[in-house]
Structure 1
């Protein structure tokens, strides 16, 4: 009888463990992505030069935003990607302080974010970004063929590297990047959960791809030394892939969410870099 009781207890614990694993597998999307929508009355394009780019993917209707140059024709377009709780139009508060001649900004919302339908995943973010690029080309590419650059923060750094892998760019800025989502899972929960991961962002490979190009783009990786979300060691590891080609900047007394405000003067320089 004692053995039967022990087996029943073991079986209950195994069922509990299986339930926890299934919950983690099914609900990891909510742990990775934190989508938000815009308020119904928030329409900054009605009072600014911001332009909407609407397009379709298998996830449904998508909307990106284009902020054209204030002065002159477009010579470079920066494609900007926010973090896992960010929205494309969150960039406007900072971009209103920028006035580089000949520079436009393409602001990307992930599927399920802002006015976009569907659900985010590495694959769907990549597809949506490709379609946003094509939508820009259809609308503006006849008049000009500018250079392209990209900037991403946190999860957005992975999206920026996807864009750089798929398109020729001359500048890349990565803020608080992780090495991979698998490494983040190991850091937060331990390696035993990695096999359950269904969202595979891997930043080493696309970074190595762009490093092999000739000419290779200017690459800047920035990390706060007190980042409480993505360990600073991950930024160091990515920069170490090629210290000769990657500029690495570690910002003192800076965490994960205040890096943009502290780095804004340097980003001004990046946006205005020679075309």
Structure 2
């Protein structure tokens, strides 16, 4: 089983991303014959039950950070993913856990919160094969912030003896946005070089090339090949303003599976599923 951790700042789309994975069996897998997803445990099945509300109705997912007392309070989402290549099928079993955005945000200056340190220690244990890092902003100053956070994260990887064997899939999330969508095909060059060059430089300098890849992810996708408007609108949900699908019947997410596949196997997919 590949143990994957999802980290990123607040509002980077971590919860929605996992909800979309859980929602796939009911929706997207019918349209995409390249992969099939099956929920394996109660946490994942409960997420699947709530996923439509999260993606379509702007509902929130509990527990929030205020309700988490130990690492065991965080759900582990387990999936079977069957990936169909041209002449073969490959089955992956993944256990995915995401951390509250506060953990990522506080890496910049450090935190005295022992619970947050427990999260980081768990994230960097030897049985974790890789981390999916979701980044979403590029406004002025964000590149400096992200670079400082990831500089600190690489230092922690080194102190936990994970500098040479932990894979990092670094993704620009919410890439359905008009400024980002054209760059999704080569995100390292067309997204990270353009919008987050210092962040990319830190990672390239600290992480072995075989353990680092850059991705673009769009949980919501666009309305169609000839209509590249984001298939996303903002709605007010139970925990504030959230993104939801504009047209559920046209839902075609982009890049959900590819980083998980690489984190688990070390191999690149032929397409961005």
TM-score range, shorter chain: 0.3 to 0.5
Provide TM-score, normalisation by structure 2: 0.36
Provide TM-score, normalisation by structure 1: 0.35
The structure with the greater share of residues assigned to strand is 2
Taking CA–CA contacts closer than 8 Å with sequence separation of 6 or more, which of the two structures ends up with the larger relative contact order? 2
